[in-house]
């Protein structure tokens, strides 16, 4: 079984370490970079137990022959890079290769599903994780927090049972979800409520527990639930408010990914977070002013 992880960010390197732990030679796990040539890279990974492992790893380039042998390609790039990452390699994948997307936000799965209509033997799975990982340097990652990883089938050929069990055994607290889009919507609502607010108020997640933010958070959540319902996903207000409160509480000391992106002048995933809700609302002919405000304010900061 050959698995490729494309996108060597914090989560990509964390997964690489987790999928390699205790793996026999029967499974080949590759990290794939976006450069054309393969190269040997010294890497280090620090686990939750503070043990650091150092090693040299071959990072496959886009032209590597091994890409044609992959049974599963896990795509761990930012939402706005998903389509441009998959498009150049898809023709070189095995006809029955499985693809799995793992990123914040929603939207690219619709584009990839369209692409897969031309590859009837492939399948698409989606995943979301709340594991914490920190990139200390380009090839030096620490696992900073336990979290849940939810995986499920989205379209095309289903993931074979031996893949499912391998992923669920190797990734701590990973579970399989028959309806992964509901899980992704729940994560989306959490990101809609936390990420933009932390980015424009320049605060840690925990500060959003203060009373002055509650009306704004509740309005964002309500709008998301209305749009999710029109998309066929039933979320309840009580559940979503509780989930958002829990994440604010458990990640109180976190700097959200969007605040980090804004402060490092990197593009954010806002178009796939608040922007996805606004786009689906427009599709259904309704307005979502609180999410639209989040989208516009972050886009203004990006520029």
Footprint of ligand KPL (CB under 6 A) = 104, 190-191, 194-195, 205, 247, 251, 254, 256-257
Nearer to ligand KPL, 23 or 260 (CB): 260
Q: Of 53 and 242, which CB lies nearer to ligand KPL in the complex structure?
A: 242
User: What are the backbone angles phi and psi of residue 53, rounded to the nearest 5°?
Assistant: -110, 135
- C-beta closer to ligand KPL: residue 181 or 205: 205
CB of 273 to ligand KPL, least distance (A): 8
CB 23 within 8 A of CB 48: no
Question: CA-to-CA distance for 174 and 265, rounded, in angstroms?
Answer: 33
- In the annotation, is 164 catalytic? no
Q: How far is the CB of 194 from ligand KPL (least distance, A)?
A: 4
For residue 298, the surrounding DSSP H or E stretch is helix 289-302
Min separation Cβ 9 and ligand KPL, Å: 12
User: Minimum Å distance from CB 142 to ligand KPL?
Assistant: 16
CA nearest to 222, candidates 203, 209, 241, 207 = 241
- In the bound state with ligand KPL, the residue whose beta carbon lies nearer, of 125 and 256, is 256
From the list 208, 195, 184, the residue with the least C-alpha distance to 297 is 195
**From CA 278, how far away is CA 293, in angstroms rounded?**
10
Choose, from 135, 148, 164, 187, the residue flagged as catalytic: 187
CA distance 303 to 299: 6
Residues forming the active site:
187
């Amino acid at each position: 079984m050959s698995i490729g992880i494309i996108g060597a960010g914090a989560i990509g390197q964390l997964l690489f370490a987790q999928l390699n732990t205790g793996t026999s030679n029967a499974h080949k796990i590759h990290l794939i970079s976006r450069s054309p040539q393969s190269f040997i890279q010294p890497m280090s990974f620090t686990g939750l137990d503070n043990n650091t492992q150092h090693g040299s790893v071959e990072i496959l380039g886009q032209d590597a022959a091994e890409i044609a042998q992959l049974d599963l390609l896990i795509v761990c790039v930012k939402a706005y890079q998903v389509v441009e990452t998959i498009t150049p390699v898809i023709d070189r994948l095995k006809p029955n290769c499985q693809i799995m997307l793992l990123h914040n936000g929603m939207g690219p799965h619709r584009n990839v599903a369209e692409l897969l209509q031309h590859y009837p033997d492939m399948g698409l799975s989606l995943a979301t994780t709340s594991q914490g990982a920190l990139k200390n340097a380009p090839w030096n990652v620490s696992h900073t927090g336990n979290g849940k990883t939810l995986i499920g089938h989205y379209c095309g050929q289903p993931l074979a049972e031996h893949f499912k069990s391998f992923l669920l055994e190797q990734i701590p607290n990973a579970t399989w979800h028959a309806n992964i889009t509901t899980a992704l919507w729940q994560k989306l609502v959490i990101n809609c409520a936390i990420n933009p607010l932390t980015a424009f108020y320049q605060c840690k997640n925990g500060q959003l527990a203060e009373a002055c933010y509650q009306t704004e958070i509740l309005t964002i959540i309500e709008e998301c639930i209305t749009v999710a319902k029109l998309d066929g996903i039933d979320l309840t207000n009580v559940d979503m408010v509780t989930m958002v409160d829990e994440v604010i509480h458990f990640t109180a000391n976190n700097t959200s990914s969007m605040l980090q992106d804004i402060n490092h002048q990197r593009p954010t995933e806002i178009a796939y977070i608040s922007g996805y809700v606004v786009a689906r609302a427009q599709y259904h002919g309704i307005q979502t002013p609180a999410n639209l405000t989040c989208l516009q304010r972050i886009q203004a900061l990006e520029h």
